[in-house]
Chains A and B, each alone.
Chain A
Amino acid sequence: MENLIALKTNRIPWALKIRGVLTILVAIFIGVWFLTPLVLITISAFASPRDYYQIEKVIPTHFTVEHFHALFFELEGWQAMLNSLKVVGLTILFSFTVGLPASYALSRYKFRGKSFLKLSMLASRMFPVMILAIPLLIIYMKIGLSDTIYGVALAHTIMVLPLIILVSASILASVSVDYEEAAMIFGLSRIHAFLKITLPLALPGLVASAILAFIISWNEVFIATILNLTNRTLPAHIFRSAMDSPDYFKFTAGFIMSIPAVIFIFFVRKHLVTMWGISLK
């Protein structure tokens, strides 16, 4: 009798165990799928040229940081990286100063043509950047914005703005309007209520949408290449110089490209899950 119960109670944990193992396997598979390129890039980025070109050596054993030195200092990668960080920073700044009020309006007010407005914002993203780039360059040259950090940042702002507005609107909408109204009752103006109450509550989600802006702007190469000749951003710089270089240089460049994004995302990753206001605790 006792054995029977033991058998019965054992059966369920087995099923659960199998499911657990399967879950882990799937997780490992996904992890490997996404991480392998990153690992390969990292290894190749540090590989000494001799190891890299030795066909029979799958995994290099001699490592060097010379490529980094070369890329950063001899090929002026350092300057390009700084430019990129500036462009990204400005893009986030611009897109939030313009986008946040817009997303607030979308999240809090009902008005005519609201859904059309949302749709048309997305439509502007459907316009290919290739077509945009040349006229933009001409306009920039006329107003003296060409070959400047601000010019690229503005162009990137246009690219990320619709996304920032729509994502932030849904994040702000997830913060109950009651909190804001309560603050207004107790003596704050609407703008203060927004700054003191809604903004802190929405911050995790807004940080997540800032990641979006970061990634888009950091990786954007086409506009950045066309608009700027001397003040190139990192991807544009790599596009121009590293592509003519030996392969291991490309990997080094790829590694440098991915590092800031990885660091940035690492610091804000816990906010990612709250992106759609699923959890505000």
Chain B
Amino acid sequence: MTNVTIRGLCKYFDRVKAVDNLDLEIKAGEFIVLLGPSGCGKTTLLRCISGLERVTAGRVFFDDHDMTYLSPKGRDISMVFQNYAVWPHMRVEKNIAFPLKVKKFPQQEIKKRVAWASDLLRIEELLDRYPAQLSGGQRQRVAVARAIVVEPRVLLMDEPLSNLDALLRVRMRSEVKKLQQKLTVTTIYVTHDQVEAMTMGDRIAVFNQGMLQQVGISDVIYHNPANTFVAGFIGSPQMNFIEVEIESINNELYLRTKNLTIPLNDKFKAKVSEHSGIRNYILGIRPEHIYLTGQSKTYPVTKGKVYFLELLRSDTIIHLETEFGFLVVKEPGDLKLEENREIEVSFDLNRIHLFYEDTGNSIMT
């Protein structure tokens, strides 16, 4: 088991800051997920850790060994490439066996491991085909099989399940997770699928524009997002953001905007009074934390006109037109609401997030 320490890592491509001053500590045997939108530098970070990319600045350590300038060969890692990189001139079997051959495993052991990996990824029937004769998803599974047959110090996976159908993806998620627990290999897993991140990661590191936004267990990422980016990126549908001002009415503090007045929760009070009135704020609330009044006993807050309904059958997503903009509400089950009807909704006061408008940071941090 190896822990990976990244210190002050920068990777610039001319003027593009693909990775910008990253500090990250990955514990031995941990399954960490790198989550972020397309182009935020996830692949670049993996390539820096693997040694394929020369870093612009900063250091990469495996345990106490400085790996920053070591070639990939000396790092004892495995990687699933985003575009698979399965060698076209080798049959599937040879592809999977290749890392074992390089490490001079005995023939018997190679056979055993290839059989094991191909069984796990359900590609036994494909073993003597060439990659050109495989579908994208099959090729991807070959790439995963090739990466797991050796027991590397660090396993790097770049969106390894992105091309599988929904059913297979869910099954593979649990297989990969279980496998990782069994092998207890330090794993860095890149995805832009938040469900994958939530379900698989011991911890999640959220990136945007080359910068680490927040790192923590999924619970923290979801319930205490560090800034508006994390808050907006995690959760579906997206969190509602409403610009608010803080107002004092009868010595009580309220968050106010047109047609909306919300008493300030105790946990925010101390923070706000430190610099009251100077800054503008953004209130964040997730669609699942807004209720139709009558269904919950929390504070009744605002009215809105039903603009559009998304019927997902398991849930109903209601788009409300309010005086302060659109509000998305998620209610469990089938709801029958006709469009343009006025309804009242209430916010779960304990689930309100508050961010500074200028920096986007949560006021709790």
Contacts from A to B (Cβ < 8 Å)? 176, 178-179, 181-190, 197, 200-201, 280-281
Give Cα distance in the complex from A105 to B86, angstroms. Answer: 23
Question: At the interface with chain A, which of B98-106, B218-226, B282-290?
Answer: B98-106
- Residues of chain B within 8 A (CB-CB) of A186 are 78, 98-99, 102, 146, 150
Rounded to whole angstroms, the CA-CA distance of A201 and B131 in the bound complex is: 13
Taking the complex as formed, is B132 at the interface, i.e. its CB lies under 8 A from any CB of chain A? yes
Say whether B237 faces chain A, with CB atoms less than 8 Å apart: no
Tell me if A178 and B85 are in contact (CB < 8 A): yes
Q: List 13 A-B contacts (CB under 8 A).
A: A179-B85, A179-B87, A182-B81, A183-B98, A184-B52, A185-B52, A185-B72, A186-B146, A188-B102, A189-B71, A200-B89, A201-B89, A281-B88
Beyond A185-B72, A186-B150, A280-B88, 10 extra complex contacts between A and B, CB < 8 Å: A182-B85, A184-B72, A184-B73, A186-B99, A186-B146, A187-B76, A187-B99, A188-B73, A190-B71, A197-B87
Of all chain A residues, the one with the shortest Cβ separation from B79 is A185
A201 partner, pick from B88, B132, B150, beta carbons under 8 A: B88
> Which residue of chain B is the closest to A182 with respect to CB atoms?
B85
Q: How far is the CA of A200 from the CA of B103 in the complex (A)?
A: 21
Residue of A nearest to B149 (CB): A186
Instruction: Tell me if B71 and A185 are in contact (CB < 8 A).
Output: no
Rounded to whole Å, the gap between the CB of A174 and the closest CB of chain B is 12
Q: What is the CB-to-nearest-CB distance from B133 to chain A, in angstroms, rounded to a whole number?
A: 9
Chain B residues within 8 Å of A197, by CB: 87, 89
Interface residues, chain B, with chain A CB atoms under 8 Å away: 50, 52, 71-73, 76-79, 81, 83, 85-89, 98-99, 102-103, 132, 146, 150
A187 contact from B52, B86, B89, B103, Cβ within 8 A: B103
A140 smallest CB distance to B (angstroms): 42
Residues A189 and B85 in contact in the complex (CB < 8 Å), given A181-B52, A182-B79, A281-B132:
no
Chain B residues with CB under 8 Å of A181's CB are 52, 72, 81, 85
CB distance from B104 to the nearest CB of A (A): 10
Bound-complex Cα distance A190 to B83 (A): 20
Please provide the 10 A-B residue pairs with the shortest distance between their CB atoms, ordered closest to farther: A182-B85, A178-B85, A186-B99, A187-B102, A184-B72, A185-B79, A281-B132, A185-B72, A200-B89, A181-B52
Chain B residues whose CB sits within 8 angstroms of the CB of A190 once the complex forms:
71
Q: Contacts of B71 on A, CB cut-off 8 Å?
A: 184, 189-190
Inside 8 A of A176's CB, which chain B residues have their CB?
Answer: 85
Give every chain A residue within 8 A of B76 (Cβ-Cβ).
187
Cβ distance A201 to chain B, nearest Cβ, rounded Å: 6
- Bound-state CA distance A4–B37 (Å) is 58
CB distance from B64 to the nearest CB of A (A): 22
Chain B residue with Cβ nearest A203: B89
Least CB distance from A18 to B in Å reads: 36
* Cα–Cα, bound, A184→B99 (Å): 10
Interchain CA distance A176-B89 in the complex, whole Å: 13
Alpha-carbon separation in the docked complex, A176 to B99 (Å): 19
**Complex Cα distance A93/B87, Å?**
27
Residues of B within 8 A of A280 (CB): 88
Chain B residues in 8 Å Cβ range of A187: 73, 76, 99, 102-103
List B contacts of A188 (CB < 8 A).
Answer: 73, 102
Question: Which residue of chain B has the shortest Cβ distance to A193 in the bound complex?
Answer: B73
Query: Which residues of B are found within 8 Å of A200, using beta-carbon distances?
Result: 89
Alpha-carbon distance A139/B329, docked complex (angstroms): 88
Most buried by B among A176, A186, A188: A186
A274 CB to nearest B CB, Å: 13
CB distance from B72 to the nearest CB of A (A): 5
Query: Which residues of A are found within 8 Å of B85, using beta-carbon distances?
Result: 176, 178-179, 181-182
Chain A residues, Cβ within 8 Å of B72: 181, 184-185
Q: Using Cβ atoms and an 8 Å threshold, which residues of chain A touch B132?
A: 281
Asked if B81 and A189 sit within 8 Å, CB to CB, the answer is no
Contact residues in A for B103 (Cβ distance below 8 Å): 187
User: Which residue in chain B gives the minimum CB-CB distance to A187?
Assistant: B102
Give Cα A192–Cα B150 distance, bound, in whole angstroms.
19
How far apart sit A185 and B50, CA to CA, in the bound complex (Å)? 7
- Residue of B72, B78, B79, B81 ringed by the most chain A CB atoms within 10 A: B72
Q: Which residues of chain A are within 8 angstroms of B77 by Cβ–Cβ distance?
A: 185
How far is B87's CA from A201's CA once the two chains are assembled, in angstroms? 9
Bound-complex Cα distance A190 to B150 (A): 20
Contacting residues, chain B, for A201 (C-beta < 8 A): 87-89
CA of A182 to CA of B52, assembled, Å: 9
Give B130 Cβ to nearest chain A Cβ, in Å: 8
- Are A185 and B87 touching (Cβ within 8 A)? no
The residue of chain A having its C-beta at the shortest distance from the C-beta of B130 within the complex is A281
Q: How far is the CB of B150 from chain A (nearest CB, A)?
A: 8
Choose one: B87, B89, B150; the contact of A182 (CB below 8 Å): B87
Give every chain A residue within 8 A of B98 (Cβ-Cβ). Answer: 183, 186
Chain B positions within 8 Å of A281 at CB level: 88, 132
Closest to A189 in B: B73
Contact of A185 among B78, B83, B86 (CB under 8 A): B78
Among B50, B71, B73, B86, the most chain A Cβ lie within 10 Å of the Cβ of B73
Enumerate chain B residues within 8 angstroms of A184, measured Cβ to Cβ.
52, 71-73
A181 and B46 alpha carbons, distance in the complex (Å)? 13
**How many Å lie between the Cα of A184 and that of B74 in the bound state?**
9
Question: For the complex, what is the distance from the CA of A190 to the CA of B88, rounded to whole Å?
Answer: 18
